[in-house]
Amino acid sequence: MTMNESLNGSMTESNAEVFFPDPLPGQERFVAPLDDTPLADVDSVNDEVPATSMWADAWKKLRRNPLFIISAVLAIFVILVALFPFLFTKQDPMACNLDNSLGAGTSGHPFGYDLQGCDVYSRVVYGTRTSVSIGILTTLLVTVFGGLIGAVAGFFGGWVDAILSRVTDIFFAIPMLLGAIVLLQMFRTSGSIWKIVFTLTLFGWVQMARITRSAVMEAKNLEFNTASTALGSSPVRNLFNHILPNSLAPIIVMATMSLGNYIVSEATLSFLGIGLPTSLVSWGGDISTAQSLLTTNPSVLFYPSAALAITVLAFIMMGDAVKDALDPKSKTV
């Protein structure tokens, strides 16, 4: 035996004594053979199972959520009424006859007549188109305008973020409904749907901008953004092709929950007499007209109010369900 072999052997024995001492009585350890613990089975991945995404998992949860199913059915029904009101009534909502003033419900007129002798049922049906159209159009414009401002501020940061954040703070200090009332009173001309939509958008984009800014700031620090930058992708390309698609979850939740608020805002403005003109049928206008009949003929006020409440409730419940599906941490037990 050579000197090196003797030295290596003594070092091995010494290391064995240091790192693997004999166990004390009662502290014996058992190590299973490697063949009895196949690590390949533990670490194996089933290639036959299809890959899932966040959206697929969210849709799977939504399909099993009774709250989402009920709200989705109500929302689809409301949108169907708004798109095709002539399928639900043959009466002209503007055809009024004072001889039918405050008349009770009859065949073909289940909700009766209002003070002007107009068919309440047909006005509720056709009022759906006006109120829902304003809610959807405002939501789309707020999502695009507020989302773009928030995305640019969160992605570029620095002085761009500072300027856009201060502008956002200015508009955030103005309540949406109060600002809409003041603006509509200043420019009190012939009202239209687009006038209400642009007014609500002007004061309603702030929350969307803040949500988008936070989501973009979180997404831009992830690995895929660094990888795409290293491959030569431009900042604008990264923002629209990678950052925004991965920040859509909170934006969709915010848009879904805000839609009902915009419908209520339109009804409130019409109720105050500064929203849509009387030539357009809307729930808010009918509620404003029927408020004086609350004690004598409450049914005239009840039907447009119930339609407004059911519609807003449907979209709010849908927003809650979508929030729970896309953000499991926000779900309360």
Reported as a single tens digit per residue, the pLDDT across 172-205 is 888 888 888 888 888 766 567 888 899 999 999 9
- Three-class SS of residue 96? strand
Interval 266-297: pLDDT, tens: 888 888 888 788 778 888 888 888 887 877 88
**What is the SS3 assignment for 51?**
coil
**Burial of 94 per CB tally in 10 Å (0-12, 13-18, 19+):** middle
Mean pLDDT of the chain: 81
Token duo for residue 268? 């409130």
pLDDT category of residue 124 using cuts at 50, 70 and 90: very high
pLDDT score at 232: 77
Give domain 121-330's CATH number out of 1.10.3720.10, 1.20.1510.10, 3.30.200.20, 3.90.660.20: 1.10.3720.10
Q: What pTM was estimated for this model as a whole? A: 0.77
pLDDT at 44 over 70: no
Helix, strand or coil, per DSSP, at residue 89: coil
User: How far apart are the C-alpha atoms of 68 and 217, rounded to whole Å?
Assistant: 30
pLDDT tens-digit map of 144-181:
999 999 999 988 888 998 999 999 999 888 888 888 88
Q: Rounded mean pLDDT of 123-144? A: 91
Per-domain boundaries in the chain: 121-330
24, 25, 26, 27: CA torsion to nearest 10: 20
Q: Which two tokens stand for residue 221?
A: 């620090």
Question: What mean pLDDT is predicted for residues 112-121?
Answer: 86
Q: Which residues of 115-149 are buried (b: 16+ CB within 10 A; e: fewer)?
A: beebbbbbbbbbbbbbbbbbbbbbbebbbebbbeb
Q: Please state, in angstroms and rounded to a whole number, the distance separating the CA atoms of residues 324 and 314.
A: 16
Over residues 77-85, the mean pLDDT reads 92
In the numeric block, which tokens belong to residue 115? 């003070």
